[in-house]
Amino acid sequence: MKLFQIFLLSLLLLILIFPLSGCWSSEEIEEMGLIIGTALDLEKEGIDEDQEGRFPKRDMFTITNQLVTAETTDSGTKEGTTQHQAYKNITETGDALLPALRKMILRIDKRAFGEHSKVIVIGEDLARHYNLNQVLDFFKREQEMRPSALIVIAKENARKTLETNEPTVIPAIQLVEMTQGQERTTKILLPMSITRFEGHLQSGTSFLLQSVKPAKGERILSGAAIIDGKTKRLRGFLDDTETEGVAWLTGEGKGGLVRSFDEYTGQPIIYEIISMESKIKPNVKGGAISFEVKVESEGRIGEHWDVSGEPFDNKFLKKAERMTEKEVEYLIKSALAKAQEEYQMDVFGFGNKLRIEHPKLWKKVKEDWDQTFSEVPVNFDVKINIKEFGTSG
């Protein structure tokens, strides 16, 4: 909970410093609610009750702000008091986000303050039906909003990802901490801030966002959301296996495991990644485009169940490398098949490599690159090198 501790420390400093500066009194800071997370969902078609009879029916949007206040940070700290949740969720609905936010003023006694916002969760239905430039327009304009806030896509309902039955857990903080796990698994994408997200949208190329799903008061990081570079909308999802394949193809993985099985004994061999690198090379012959991908990784044996042979024997190590290479090849093939055959979208950055090395050709194909990419051959070579054995032996 390192991030949570940092957050509480910054909150304490905010309370201590600002009264000394003369900007706010201590009474005023206690009247503030710090927004630490926001969930956006699409509701059914309707009419804002304030505008009934004046405007036609249109889709309604639900915005949920997760707040930390003086009361929530003090909850359960006094002896004999009932322990309450460490956060407070406020939900409002409107035909645009800012009017819905203003309606919250009628229901809460706190001045909502957005400079400490950590994450924006966008619901699946909203992301599928609306251009994400429209969805995030308010947040890009709002001066209080930090451009470093993360963006994730929720499978199903976004609001539920900010709920929990554990009184000491702040879901928005926990979700941000969960996205920091790239050094332990290739199933988590690099965090996407508002700034990076806007850059991807402006580029016109398709890309991936971390996806999360609610599960009985918990949050589970679950694969990746595919964002269409042309429509700026959600097209679909990659599962965990396909997301791992993306990490290997792009070389963006920082750590993790590869589980394979001995071809004779059927026992598992666990390879732990120390480093990985991917080099993507476009080839153009007579106007035909293809790609060569060379993937290399160094790692260690993290766990193995084969007791029939000597684990430090060179023959065993070569076998373990070969089994791991086969599994990585499977992961890459899974990701490529989903992107090229089902969605026909380049979410790996192949087009950018082509743009750099063959700019003239890129100008000819960039308008319909996703469709072109779906038919482009991609050949790859995987090389695994086991350098360590852990502390065993």
pLDDT digits (tens, 9 = 90+) for 124-166: 999 999 999 999 998 888 777 888 999 999 998 999 999 998 8
Q: Does the pLDDT of residue 359 top 70, yes or no?
A: yes
Size (the chain), residues: 393
Number of H helices, E strands in the chain: 14, 13
In degrees, rounded to 5, the angle at the alpha carbon of residue 111 between the alpha carbons of residues 105 and 115 is: 120
Per DSSP bridges, beta strands 58-68 and 88-94 are antiparallel
Q: Which helix (H) or strand (E) is 214 found in, with range? A: strand 207-215
Predicted TM-score (pTM) of the model is 0.86
Cβ neighbours of residue 296 closer than 8 Å, sequence gap 6 or more: 276, 277, 278, 382, 383, 385
Instruction: Answer yes or no: are the C-beta atoms of 336 and 345 closer than 8 Å.
Output: no
Q: Does the pLDDT of residue 83 top 90, yes or no?
A: no
- The larger pLDDT score, comparing residue 105 to residue 172, is at 172
Q: Which helix (H) or strand (E) is 42 found in, with range? A: strand 32-46
Per-residue three-class SS string for 264-303: CCCCEEEEEEEEEEEEEEEEEECCEEEEEEEEEEEEEEEE
Cα–Cα distance measured from residue 19 to residue 197, given in angstroms and rounded to the nearest whole number = 36
Q: Is 7 exposed, middle or buried (0-12, 13-18, 19+ CB in 10 A)?
A: buried
Q: Residue range 159-187: average pLDDT?
A: 93
Three-class SS state of 237: strand
Per DSSP bridges, beta strands 88-94 and 111-113 are unpaired
- The larger pLDDT score, comparing residue 263 to residue 75, is at 263
| Torsion of Cα atoms, 14 then 17 then 21 then 25, to 10° | 60
Least confidently predicted of 21-30, 109-118, 262-271: 21-30
Q: Does the pLDDT of residue 221 top 60, yes or no?
A: yes
Q: Residue range 100-127: average pLDDT?
A: 84
- For 60, phi and psi rounded to 5 degrees? -110, 150
Q: Does the pLDDT of residue 245 top 50, yes or no?
A: yes
- For 149, phi and psi rounded to 5 degrees? -60, 140
In the chain, what are the domains? 2-238 (no CATH), 246-388 (3.30.300.210)
- For 28, phi and psi rounded to 5 degrees? -70, -40
